[in-house]
Amino acid sequence: MRKLTTRLLLISFLSVLLFSCKSYQIQGVTKKESPETVFKNHYFSNPETDYVYKAHIEIYGNSLGGIFITKKINDTTHRVVFTTEFGNTLFDFELSDNSFKVNYIVADLDRKIIINTLKEDFRLLLKTNHKVQEVFENEAYIVYKSKDNKRYNYLFESKKDRKLIKLLHTSKTKEKVTYEFGSKSNTFAENVTITHQNIKLKIELNQIIN
């Protein structure tokens, strides 16, 4: 009896271990042969455009409202500024795939964990070129898988109108951050929602129309 109990416990332990180590996979898609080597996200790529949004940020128990502005200032770098509706700057960053500079951040947000999280959120939001590893599809979407350091990005492009609808940022085993885009074209996103799965952080951006 003791041997049987030990065996059952061992099987249960191994099952949990194998399940926890299972690689993350998108459900309901099949692999697709594709010549695509790079997926281009055009939403924030025009250097002649100021992208201006009304923003709401829920971050580690704090609620912030204001104006989010981003602009591509050269071939690789964006500037990101978040202000109150009265024009007081809360943070001002410059970032690219390989660089990051804090021009200013208000004292209440000047914490390493907050800065690093916002840096990665905006880096991925503003990233234009994603190297494609694999391509999948279902009836509604073409899904491009791209390696991102030790993590992965899955970019969901609508088959109907070729717009980027969603981006999933994952570890090897689970979803970490979800980006959702509402757009009328594949060059400008009127609405963006960034939701973290494992921490209390959500960013909502809604275009300000003059």
pLDDT in tens, 155-200: 999 999 999 999 999 998 999 999 999 999 989 999 999 999 988 8
The total domain count for the chain is 1
Q: Which two tokens stand for residue 138?
A: 């279902």
Residue 197, amino acid: Q
Asked if residue 5 belongs to a domain, the reply is no
Residue-level pLDDT at 210: 67
**Per-residue confidence (pLDDT) for residue 4, from 0 to 100:** 43
Look at residue 40 and tell me if it is in a domain.
yes
What pLDDT sits at residue 138?
Answer: 93
Query: Cβ neighbours of residue 108 under 8 Å, at least 6 residues apart?
Result: 62
1 domain-assigned? no
Tokens at 86, concatenated: 């009265």
Asked if the structure places residue 20 within a domain, the reply is no
The answer as to whether 67 is a domain residue is: yes
Residue 200 lies in a domain: yes
Task: Indicate the pairing of strand 51-59 with strand 38-40.
Answer: unpaired
In this prediction, residue 137 has a pLDDT band, given cuts at 50, 70 and 90, of very high
Mean pLDDT within 24-41: 89
Return the minimum-mean-pLDDT range out of 19-23, 121-125, 129-133, 200-204: 19-23
Closest listed residue to residue 142, CA positions, set 7, 16, 31: 31
- Cα–Cα distances in Å, from 30 out to 25, 26, 34, 35, 164? 11, 9, 12, 16, 19
- Across the chain, what does the average pLDDT equal? 89
Residue 79 lies in a domain: yes
pLDDT at 3: 52
Is residue 12's pLDDT more than 90? no
- Rounded distance, CA 144 to CA 122, Å? 20
pLDDT over 60 (residue 11): no
- Hey, which of 31-35, 80-84, 111-115 has the most confident mean pLDDT? 80-84
pTM, rounded to two decimals? 0.86
What backbone torsions phi and psi does residue 109 show, to the nearest 5 degrees? -105, -5
Q: Residue 7: its pLDDT value, please?
A: 52
Q: pLDDT band at residue 60, thresholds of 50, 70 and 90?
A: confident
Mean pLDDT value of segment 7-19: 46
Domain that holds residue 179: 30-207
Binned at pLDDT 50, 70 and 90, residue 95 comes out as very high
Paired sense of beta strands 175-183 and 189-196, if any: antiparallel
Q: What is the CATH number of the domain that holds 90?
A: 2.50.20
Q: What does the pLDDT read at residue 179?
A: 98
Q: Is residue 13 part of a domain?
A: no
